[in-house]
Structure 1
């Protein structure tokens, strides 16, 4: 591999001008310490719980309880139902987290964008798996054992019940692929 290709591979996705579907851009979740950003504070509690979840140290048990309390607080403030322990890739953006509901077993890839009133849930036969850099419009419903591939777009108020190929757009009720 040439040194130019190696340097390009090490460069962060945001620096290259495009968003990666595989490498998490953690700057999308960061916030200044005292800034009022409820959605990023909610995500921070999810990440803190992930760090503390498997630790057996006695003081981490106390910290876990504090993180659970913080998560409940930010869930009430944002109106989002995102359970602790969800499989969410880094770089998630929730510009307006009000009404977002995510099933505990759903998987979300890195660098996704989810707007308000989105439901990612079960239809009885499984839960959605969402690839990297997927943008989900306001009010969309993703139900059942479906696969949303990388760089897909889900339109506002779409009801997605089938797989969405990479780089394609799903719109409508029920959703159709454009």
Structure 2
């Protein structure tokens, strides 16, 4: 069994598979906005305005609150984007998997999570505060994470963390 990289994104994970692929289309609008925002000139500003409308459309369709300016590593996979909320300052590593109703946020000012590479976050999980989730970690469904989770660890329930050997 080959392990997915925590450093090198597999961009095929984000490629829309069909016309109606809301999660991937939402990510595509975020990627295009960030690309054109970096480019100078009138075309960059014009394209950003159009892409903001596409982002709003896909945000309504998916029910997700993922800001255009957030720091998302390559190859994020959100198969069921309904109810996903990501703080604008949160950092997400490459090749991550986030299921529905996940919140990556804060309970205070300046305390946002940092998610490592190839992290799987189960449905309904809440990652709050200034916590670091290590590479290849897995967060169980409906877990509430308010402490750091190490690399290759599994966190379930109210922050019960099991280290893999």
Give the structure-1-normalised TM-score: 0.88
Alignment of 1:46-61 (within 5 A): 46-61=30-45
Question: Quick check: 86-95 or 16-25, which moved more?
Answer: 16-25
**Deviation at residue 17 of structure 1 after TM alignment:** 3.4
Give the aligned partner of residue 9 of structure 1: none
Number of aligned residue pairs: 161
Structure 2, unmatched stretches of 5+, are: none
Matched, 1:151 2:110: no
RMSD: 1.2
Match of 2:104, SS state, is strand
Q: 1:71 aligns with which of 55, 66, 71?
A: 55
| Counterpart for residue 136 of structure 1 | 121
- Comparing 56-65 with 90-99, which one deviates more in the overlay? 56-65
Between the aligned partners of 1:18 and 1:104, the Cα distance in structure 2 is: 29
Deviations 1:16-66 (A, max 9, x none): 93210000110000125x621000000000100110112221122111100
SS of alignment partner, residue 27 of structure 1: helix
Q: 4+ runs of 1 displaced by more than 6 Å?
A: none
Counterpart secondary structure, 1:53:
helix
Name whichever of 60-69 and 73-82 sits farther off. Answer: 60-69
Unaligned runs of 5+ in 1: 1-15
CA deviations 1:120-147 (Å, max 9, x no partner) are: 0012151000000000000000000000
Structure number, greater radius of gyration: 1
Which structure 2 residues correspond to residues 51-130 of structure 1 after superposition, within 5 A? 51-124=35-108, 126-130=111-115
What's the counterpart of residue 171 of structure 1?
156
**TM-score for the superposition, normalised by structure 2:** 0.94
